[in-house]
């Protein structure tokens, strides 16, 4: 696939989000790329086609999205899936029984559930480890890949991608990075040596909590071919309308992320000084252990904050009392969401691992949106005051 003139133009990220430097336009040069809501494409003659055959395999709207996402992640190829989990599941289909993967211990609960159930059933073996502190000891002859998020969901552990990539390259194993939390606005793992980048497109990339999607970005032609075969064969690709919604979301990705991050820093500072909050975990705070690595490998810190309060009762009371923003699962949209990882995003994580990672009944996770930061702070102050006095 030809991703056009963009690489020669070398435009900035904000400009890339407009997708205007792609050669792929529809036949009428529509500025908003059309939704090709069709299952199939007709052929005038045997052996002659438009480049499209059947939408499970490929579709112009989805292809346009894939082109834009490849551009944003500085990748050669991108594939769009019906959800983030469909993307992770497709990547797992690259492996065969007996293959061994090293996966980080702190990950989105759905990914852990996939590995523990479906991938394990398919004969793939896993070592769960803190990959940020090195993987050499876990590598076996059958090791095929390392899988991580950075920062992780929800504990915000940070891994030095470049340092890890040196090790994976030396051993000929793949480095797979779920880049959902920072989005390509703030981090491009392929540039740091990763082989495969995964996104829940549901989050920052689409950005409006109105569609579900997943993306995989990579440079390797052979792996791209295998993933396309997997996608076509399993029928996991993104639908045309969802592709269009995601394309529309991308237009504001840069401005949304910049604003959400600005808000997140203010809220993290506020929570830090609040007597109601016992711990704030945000990689944009200089005391965060991953702060210096983040400064080296990312251009921003994102807008995800985890924090602890003094008791389970207090945490639940916060969720019961918030009004200006929502108690809901998910992240990365324009509205602020507050999540209870214990019963929501990380309910599927085995209890032992959850406890080891610190996902307690006092932990809350915040996806900071683009509202007025002072309004969000005032809302926290109101909620905390309603619940009661600090110890």
Q: List contacts with ligand PLP (CB under 6 A).
A: 83-85, 108, 110-111, 149, 153, 178, 180, 200, 202, 212, 214, 345
Q: How many CB atoms lie within 10 A of CB 127?
A: 17
Out of 113, 203, 256, 354, the active site residue is 203
Cα–Cα distance measured from residue 248 to residue 223, given in angstroms and rounded to the nearest whole number:
28
Q: Rank residues 110 and 333 by Cβ distance to ligand PLP and give the closer one.
A: 110
β-partners of residue 200 are 214
CB of 194 to ligand PLP, least distance (A): 15
Q: What is the dihedral of CA 10, 15, 16, 17, to 10 degrees?
A: 170
CB of 246 to ligand PLP, least distance (A): 11
Q: Rank residues 90 and 387 by Cβ distance to ligand PLP and give the closer one.
A: 90
Out of 21, 178, 195, 242, the active site residue is 178
CB of 3 to ligand PLP, least distance (A): 24
CB of 83 to ligand PLP, least distance (A): 3
Out of 3, 108, 204, 270, the active site residue is 108
Q: How many alpha carbons lie under 13 Å from residue 282 in its C-beta half-sphere?
A: 29
CB of 204 to ligand PLP, least distance (A): 10
Cα–Cα distance measured from residue 234 to residue 379, given in angstroms and rounded to the nearest whole number:
45
Q: Rank residues 85 and 309 by Cβ distance to ligand PLP and give the closer one.
A: 85
CB of 377 to ligand PLP, least distance (A): 25
Confirm whether 178 is a catalytic residue. Answer: yes
Cα–Cα distance measured from residue 182 to residue 303, given in angstroms and rounded to the nearest whole number:
8
User: DSSP per residue over 148-203, as a string?
Assistant: EESS-TTT-----HHHHHHHHHHHT-EEEEE-TTTHHHH--GGGGT-SEEEEETTT
**β-strand 304-309 against 277-281: which pairing, if any?**
antiparallel
Q: Rank residues 263 and 339 by Cβ distance to ligand PLP and give the closer one.
A: 339
By CB atoms closer than 10 A (0-12, 13-18, 19+), residue 129 is middle
List Cα–Cα distances, 6 to 9, 11, 116, in angstroms: 5, 7, 40
Residues 94 and 138 sit within 8 Å (Cβ to Cβ): no
Q: How many CB atoms lie within 10 A of CB 379?
A: 17
Out of 56, 251, 266, 356, the active site residue is 56
CB of 171 to ligand PLP, least distance (A): 25
Q: Rank residues 84 and 240 by Cβ distance to ligand PLP and give the closer one.
A: 84
Q: Rank residues 214 and 283 by Cβ distance to ligand PLP and give the closer one.
A: 214
Confirm whether 221 is a catalytic residue. Answer: no
Confirm whether 147 is a catalytic residue. Answer: no
Backbone angles phi, psi at 193, to 5 degrees: 110, 0
Lookup: tokens for 20: 């205007």
Q: Rank residues 262 and 329 by Cβ distance to ligand PLP and give the closer one.
A: 329
By CB atoms closer than 10 A (0-12, 13-18, 19+), residue 353 is middle
By CB atoms closer than 10 A (0-12, 13-18, 19+), residue 386 is exposed
Catalytic positions: 56, 108, 178, 203
């Amino acid at each position: 696939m030809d991703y056009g003139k963009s690489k020669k133009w070398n435009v900035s990220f904000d400009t890339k989000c407009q997708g205007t430097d792609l050669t792929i336009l529809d036949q009428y040069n529509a500025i908003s790329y059309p939704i090709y809501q069709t299952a199939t494409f007709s052929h005038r003659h045997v052996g002659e086609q438009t480049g499209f055959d059947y939408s499970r395999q490929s579709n112009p709207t989805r292809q346009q999205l894939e082109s834009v996402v490849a551009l944003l992640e500085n990748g050669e190829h991108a594939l769009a899936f019906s959800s983030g989990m469909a993307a992770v599941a497709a990547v797992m289909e690259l492996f065969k029984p007996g293959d061994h993967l090293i996966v980080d211990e702190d990950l989105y609960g759905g990914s852990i559930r996939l590995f523990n159930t479906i991938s394990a059933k398919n004969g793939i073996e896993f070592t769960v480890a803190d990959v940020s502190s090195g993987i050499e000891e876990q590598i076996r002859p059958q090791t095929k890949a390392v899988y991580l998020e950075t920062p992780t969901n929800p504990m915000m552990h940070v891994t030095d991608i470049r340092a890890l990539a040196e090790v994976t390259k030396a051993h000929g194993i793949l480095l797979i990075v779920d880049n959902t939390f920072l989005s390509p606005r703030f981090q491009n793992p392929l540039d740091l040596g990763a082989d495969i980048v995964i996104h829940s497109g549901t989050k920052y990339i689409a950005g409006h909590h109105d569609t579900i999607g997943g993306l995989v970005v990579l440079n390797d032609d052979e792996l791209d071919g295998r993933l396309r075969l997997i996608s076509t064969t399993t029928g996991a690709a993104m639908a045309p309308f969802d592709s269009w919604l995601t394309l529309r979301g991308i237009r504001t990705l840069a401005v949304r992320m910049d604003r959400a991050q600005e808000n997140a820093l203010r809220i993290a500072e506020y929570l830090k000084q609040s007597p109601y909050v016992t711990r704030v975990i945000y990689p944009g705070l200089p005391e965060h252990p991953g702060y210096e690595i983040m400064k080296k490998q990312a251009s921003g810190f994102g807008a995800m904050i985890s924090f602890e309060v003094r008791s389970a009762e207090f945490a639940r009371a916060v969720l019961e009392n918030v009004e200006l923003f929502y108690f809901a699962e998910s992240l990365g949209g324009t509205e602020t969401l507050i999540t209870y990882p214990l019963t929501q995003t990380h309910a599927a994580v085995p209890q032992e691992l959850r406890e080891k990672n610190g996902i307690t009944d006092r932990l809350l996770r915040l996806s900071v949106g683009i509202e007025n930061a002072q309004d969000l702070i005032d809302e926290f102050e109101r909620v905390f005051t309603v619940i009661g006095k600090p110890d």
